[in-house]
Structure 1
Amino acid sequence: MQTLVAPSFHPSYRIKQQPLKLVVLGDSLIYGFGDPEGGGWVERLRRQWMSPNSSGHILYNLGVRGDGILQVQDRLEHEFRRRGELRNRVPDKIILSVGVNDSARLGRSNGRNFTDFDIFQVGLANLLDQAQGLCKVLFVGMVPVDESKMPFLDCLYYNHLDQYRYKEAIRLACLKRQIPYLDIFDTWMNRGTDWCTHRLSDDGLHPNVLGYQALLQDVLDWEPFRHL
């Protein structure tokens, strides 16, 4: 009787897992404005993943300064479909981060919001549903502003009360759809006013170098992100 022996494989023959491809869409928090050293948390992460010893995941920064929920929704699928260079595959995951610009008051501290709250909720629902129809989604929340530095650009008034209202709408919409949501606003607020102030740029809106370093660490420590 002939005995068949299973072939042995050299460790170097192990199948290498394909790198993940992620698109990150949002506003200036994704673009990285305010971090001249590292280019923001997304760029810092992209550079880490370019290291020879890293997982080698592919990351596309699709942040646009000033974007609100409707602008991100408008460009979502087009941006997603144009990131298929690996054997024509579409991205594996979408990371979204948007909403703070929608909350701004126009012209004065009690002016109308940049995006009416009801319109924001409809746009948010459409954005999340559309994104989930493409691939798995994660959502990174907004950072709290420095209210004492407002108005931004002499016309936009951001405040914590409106930020909280808009970010809670995002949190609940993500919860309803089982989309992982990282609540940066509450996390930073719980660390104290002084802690936040030292991590915001002079404009009171965008994180500075320390802020983006902290933001990246928050993302890396986030359990849904670690599962990548």
Structure 2
Amino acid sequence: MQILASPSSSPHVSQTPIGQPLKIIALGDSLVYGFGDPERGGWVEQLRRWWMSPDSGGHVLYNLGIRGDRAQQVSQRLEVEFKHRGELRNRVPDLIILSVGTNDSPRLGRVDGRNYTDFDEFEVQINHLLFRAQQLCPVLFVGMIPVDETKMPFLDCFYYTHADQHRYKEATRRACQQHQIPYLDLFDRWMARGETWQQQRLTSDGLHPNTLGYQALFEDVLGWEALSVYTRTTNAFGIGG
């Protein structure tokens, strides 16, 4: 279930002047970076280009995805990234889109090894990340997608499984619900579309989306009600498109 909260519920409400485009940062791992899509650059890049259209608000979107990042690493760079992504009169961003957690979930060395990030520690870290992000501006969270288990281990070391992914994404979803942060559950959505559909949208490593996969991801994000608040001609901040 997607939890939709009004941007006004966050501690800091944007001070962007009426008529000014929003400044947005997308912060996370390779799913944000767009690894695996040499044609279109991933869903964040597609969204960035879509917002450059004269009819879509002119919002500015910074891709701050780093391959391999876990929740702790994203949290460590959160405030520095935020404070250096303002423009002109608007010195800081108006919205943060987070997407992280996949790299916390795999087991190391063998299929029954320890998780890369201990589950209890992950719950602490993801709650800390969400709390700190909300102190800066409104936040949206885009969840992980399911891997192809038959292609594991990744890099001969990381064993990703649907069971572990589900456990970590549920912890994230619950944390977002607690903080009243909208959460897009891509894992359940993609699982419902079937194994064949998923495999056609993943690269040969079984972990990253391919161009077709990122196109589907972009469409899922663009059609998300929580994001559409910011893409309407008159959005939650009263800013004209």
User: Could you state the TM-score of these two structures normalised by the residue count of structure 2?
Assistant: 0.87
Could you tell me whether the CA contact under 8 Å between 2:23 and 2:87 is conserved in 1?
A: no
Q: Residue type matched to 1:43 in 2?
A: E
Alpha-carbon separation, structure 2, partners of 1:16 and 1:125: 33
Q: Secondary structure at the match of 1:22?
A: strand
Match of 1:136 in 2: 138
2:193 matches 1:205: no
Q: For 1:141-220, list aligned pairs within 5 A.
A: 141-220=143-222
Task: Specify whether residues 179 and 157 from structure 1 end up closer, same or farther in structure 2 by C-alpha distance, changes over 3 A only.
Answer: same
Gaps of 5+ in 2: 1-16, 231-241
In 2, the alpha carbon distance for the partners of 1:38 and 1:51 equals 16
Q: Give the secondary-structure state (helix, strand or coil) at the position aligned to 2:189.
A: helix
Deviation at 1:88? 4.4
Q: Tell me the number of residue pairs that the alignment of Structure 1 and Structure 2 aligns.
A: 214
Q: Summarize deviations over 1:93-125 as a string: whole Å, max 9, x none.
A: 100000000001111111111100111111111
Q: Does 1:112 align with 2:87?
A: no
Identity across matched positions, percent: 68
Task: Calculate the aligned-residue CA RMSD, in Å.
Answer: 1.1
**Matched letter for residue 186 of structure 1:** D
The structure with the larger Rg is: 1
1:10-59 per-residue CA deviation (whole Å, 9 max, x = no partner) reads: xxxxx971101110000000000000000000001111122333311000
TM-score, normalised with respect to structure 1: 0.92
Displacement of 1:87 after TM fit?
A: 1.2
Q: Does 1:87 align with 2:89?
A: yes
Residue 20 of structure 2 is aligned to residue 49 of structure 1 = no
**1:84 Cα deviation after fit:** 1.5
Letter matched to residue 113 of structure 2: G
Letter in 1 for 2:105: S
